[in-house]
Structure 1
Amino acid sequence: MGQDTEPFELDVYMRAFVPDAAQRRQEAMLERMRRLRDRGIIDDVSVSRWSSRACLSVELHHDRPDGTELYRELVDATDGTALSIQPFFRERKGPSRGRSVVHLPVVCVVVRRDDAIAGVYPCSAPEGTYSVTDCLDALEDGGDVENVDGDVALDPQPA
């Protein structure tokens, strides 16, 4: 990120119930993000916990995010770009009454600038995949993490 760019924040979504090893990885990622915030590289980090999946055909009204709204927002944001949130978010038909279910990743980071989505991790592109770790590495190295405009600046991991 250059110094002349507007500040941005990270919205972090983490699966609530994971094995101990995955929880340790989640906490290590959060610590890296907090250090980035403390160094002034990002403005803020917000963390939400979610389940392993959410029903797309049911609107729930409670304080805990279920992933449905974010999933729809990410689909809209990546539409028309080289990015895809598949296979990290997998939409499947549910077992009853034709409901659709989306399986949510263990960790997702959304880069926001002025409340608009500027980056999504994890994601895939024609040249490979981009993980949350790729995003954090780029931030620590002063790289660009805004990928939703279709221009992906990071070196992807092989698909």
Structure 2
Amino acid sequence: MSSNTDPIRLELYVRTLSPPGARTRQEQVIKRLQRLEDEGHIADFYVKVWGRQIDPTTKAAETDQGEFILNRIAEFKQWALANNTTLESFYQTHEQSSSITGQDHTTMVLPKMGLAEYRGGELAQVAPCTDGDDVHTVVNHLDDLERRLVDQPTTRTAATVAEE
């Protein structure tokens, strides 16, 4: 079980080839994450690029990248289930027919941007998500996280105190 004193690690997922407006938002979020790390509020952050969608039944899903993304999505869905939230409006599945093979397959559309917060080794929060009628975006989550962290000693301060 994680606590509020466990180190925070953030994982940001961004879609490749996003339109300019989405790219600007992604860059702003990355700058915020870098600042949180530089100021010692978070242990580290990681940016992972993913595509527009993933088809769990293709060979691409069997690659290291594909398996990583599918495992993360499964972890996010498990978190949502345990926390009475939903991710369905952000990780939508679509049935498609291949014009070449004529076979139907299911693809999952990935959000332009997703954020996972880990405390210690445990997943503590996923954004975007929906809780009832409330939508929690990546930016909302960063706003909430920054408010919570302002009142806590930074990881750098805690390390300095421990060394003395």
Which residue number corresponds to residue 34 of structure 1?
34
1:130 corresponds, among 127, 130, 136, to: 136
TM-score using structure 2 length: 0.77
Give the RMSD, CA atoms, in angstroms: 2.1
Which residue number corresponds to residue 17 of structure 1?
17
TM-score using structure 1 length: 0.79
Which residue number corresponds to residue 153 of structure 1?
none
1:100 corresponds, among 87, 95, 106, to: 106
CA–CA distance in structure 2, aligned partners of residues 138 and 79 of structure 1: 21
Q: Which amino acid aligns with 1:48?
A: K
Which residue number corresponds to residue 127 of structure 2?
121
Shift of the alpha carbon at 1:65?
A: 7.1
1:61 corresponds, among 63, 80, 91, to: 63
Q: Which amino acid aligns with 1:92?
A: H
Q: Which amino acid aligns with 2:28?
A: A
Decide whether aligned partners of structure 1 residues 123 and 39 sit closer, same or farther in structure 2, where only a CA change above 3 A counts: same
Q: Which amino acid aligns with 1:14?
A: V
Instruction: Return the index of the structure with the highest Cα Rg.
Output: 2
Which residue number corresponds to residue 8 of structure 2?
8
CA–CA distance in structure 2, aligned partners of residues 128 and 22 of structure 1: 22
Superposed, 1:73-92 pairs within 5 Å as: 73-92=75-94
Assess if the C-alpha contact under 8 Å between 2:4 and 2:119 holds in 1.
no
Unpaired runs of 5+ residues, structure 2, are: 150-164
Between the aligned residues of both structures, percent identity stands at: 24
Shift of the alpha carbon at 1:60?
A: 2.5
Unpaired runs of 5+ residues, structure 1, are: 144-159
Q: Which has the higher contact order (CA 8 A, sep 6+)?
A: 2
Q: What does the per-residue CA deviation read over 1:66-111, in whole Å, with 9 as the maximum and x for residues that have no partner? A: 7322222211222243111120110122324332211000100000
CA–CA distance in structure 2, aligned partners of residues 129 and 141 of structure 1: 18
Assess if the C-alpha contact under 8 Å between 1:12 and 1:46 holds in 2.
yes
Shift of the alpha carbon at 1:116?
A: 2.2
